């Protein structure tokens, strides 16, 4: 990944921002090179792993790129970048926590063994199995349905926020989410090797947050 470039005067940053807003890819590349190390360090403090920090830094820069037109030119650009970075990192943490909660809801409580006073390695293995199950089930969904479910149930966006981001009517968004939840439940049952039936699918769907 690119190393940070020496600090530039505010006038130079202003020029780069203006060029970016006009669609100049080279200007955006320059901003990424200038601030990569700074953003990476913020991400690394949250996740503690180099590969995950690089992925998170990429996500942060995507957010910065999309939000560049909201930057108040009177403010310090680097301070704004760090603020955006921390917000993305916090959202990332919340999404990971929400994913774990969704996995727990996707598993039928009647099929779980009684809680053990000694968690041991088997509990950790079961948790990883549930995570793998959910990820595999999500991967089997059509992209449009998967995106809708992730935005609603994992990232906890409102229907209006999802509609705005996807450029779709709210009715279409709600339909995709409901269809996605039902299909997710079907895929979970399929991956567990159970026979699929609409009634049982609806039960699982309700545990994944279906309306």
Give the model confidence (pLDDT) of 114-151 as tens digits.
Answer: 444 444 555 555 556 677 778 888 888 899 888 888 88
Q: What is the pTM of this model?
A: 0.43
Q: What is the DSSP letter of 111?
A: G
Q: Write down the pLDDT at residue 80.
A: 93
Low-confidence residues of the chain, pLDDT below 50? 3-6, 103, 106-119, 195-211
Instruction: State whether residue 70 is helix, strand or coil.
Output: helix
Residue 133: CB partners within 8 Å, gap ≥ 6? 103, 106, 188, 191, 192
Compute the distance between CA of residue 80 and CA of residue 58 in angstroms, rounded to an integer.
Answer: 17
């Amino acid at each position: 990944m690119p190393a940070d470039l020496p600090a530039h005067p505010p006038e130079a940053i202003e020029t780069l921002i203006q060029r970016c807003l006009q669609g100049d890819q080279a200007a955006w590349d320059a901003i990424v090179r200038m601030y990569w190390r700074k953003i990476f360090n913020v991400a690394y403090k949250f996740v503690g792993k180099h590969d995950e920090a690089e992925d998170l830094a990429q996500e942060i820069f995507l957010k910065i790129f999309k939000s560049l037109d909201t930057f108040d030119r009177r403010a310090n650009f680097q301070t704004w970048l760090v603020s955006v970075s921390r917000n993305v990192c916090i959202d990332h943490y919340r999404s990971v926590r929400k994913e774990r909660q969704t996995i727990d809801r996707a598993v039928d409580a009647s099929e779980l063994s009684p809680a053990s006073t000694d968690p041991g390695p088997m509990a950790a293995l079961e948790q990883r199995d549930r995570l793998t199950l959910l990820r595999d089930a999500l991967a089997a969904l059509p992209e449009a349905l998967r995106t809708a479910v992730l935005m609603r149930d994992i990232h906890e966006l409102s229907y209006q926020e999802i509609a705005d981001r996807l450029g779709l009517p709210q009715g279409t968004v709600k339909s995709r989410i409901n269809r996605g939840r039902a299909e997710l439940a079907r895929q979970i049952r399929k991956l567990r090797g159970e026979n699929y039936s609409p009634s049982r699918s609806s039960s699982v769907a309700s545990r994944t947050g279906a309306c």
